[in-house]
């Protein structure tokens, strides 16, 4: 069984922001796989279903980004999962161009507070992740203002295309392994 976690912040004021692209990709995957994400459990909103022939739990932590690891840790413990092989985290990444994706099997948080909290709560940086490029912060901008901002219309189109690639990548990660997906999508 896989736990697929889309990172973001709960609440309407955060919908459509750069920081919530993890929520958006998870929502696209859920819609395509006809999985309802409605059950409130483990400080997250979750849905259960099948992706690429495997049982999966799709989760959106509602702890706010900076405490995402608390929710992830609860789910890992409750479902008795191995984070190194059963966890996929979807997050935004300002070091990638808008719409680009990058798959990793381990690594540092790269300054991302949600990933940093997951690493701290799991005690390990070995878990699969799909990083969604949201573009570099413009000079003079505050980082929080940038990631909590919304995409322009042209950026939104690139993000939708990137989200489609990310959904395909997640399916490939499950069906054929992270290495195959990395070779294909990175």
Residue 19 annotated in active site: yes
Catalytic residue, chosen from 19, 42, 112, 184, is 19
Q: Tell me the backbone φ, ψ of residue 93, rounded to 5 degrees.
A: -145, 115
Query: No. of H helices and E strands in the chain?
Result: 7, 7
Quick one: tokens of 130? 């799909």
Closest by Cα among 115, 118, 101 to 170: 101
Q: Tell me the backbone φ, ψ of residue 101, rounded to 5 degrees.
A: -125, 155
Rounded Cα distance between 122 and 70, Å, is: 9
Could you give the residue numbers annotated as active site? 19
């Amino acid at each position: 069984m896989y736990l697929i976690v889309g990172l973001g912040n709960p609440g309407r004021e955060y919908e459509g922001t750069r920081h919530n692209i993890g929520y958006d990709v998870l929502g696209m995957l859920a819609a395509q796989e006809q999985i309802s994400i409605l059950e409130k459990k483990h400080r997250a909103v979750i849905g259960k279903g099948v992706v690429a022939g495997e049982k999966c739990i799709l989760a959106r932590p509602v702890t706010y980004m900076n405490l995402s690891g608390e929710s992830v840790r609860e789910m890992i413990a409750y479902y008795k999962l191995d984070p190194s092989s059963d966890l996929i985290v979807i997050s935004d990444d300002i070091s990638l161009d808008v719409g680009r994706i990058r798959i990793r099997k381990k690594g540092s948080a790269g300054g991302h507070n949600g990933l940093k909290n997951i690493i701290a709560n799991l005690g390990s940086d070995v878990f699969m992740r799909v990083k969604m490029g949201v573009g570099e912060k413009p000079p003079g901008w505050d980082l929080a203002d940038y990631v909590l901002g919304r995409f322009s219309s042209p950026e939104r189109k690139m993000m939708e295309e990137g989200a489609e690639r990310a959904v395909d990548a997640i399916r490939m990660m499950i069906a054929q392994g992270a290495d195959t997906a990395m070779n294909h999508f990175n």
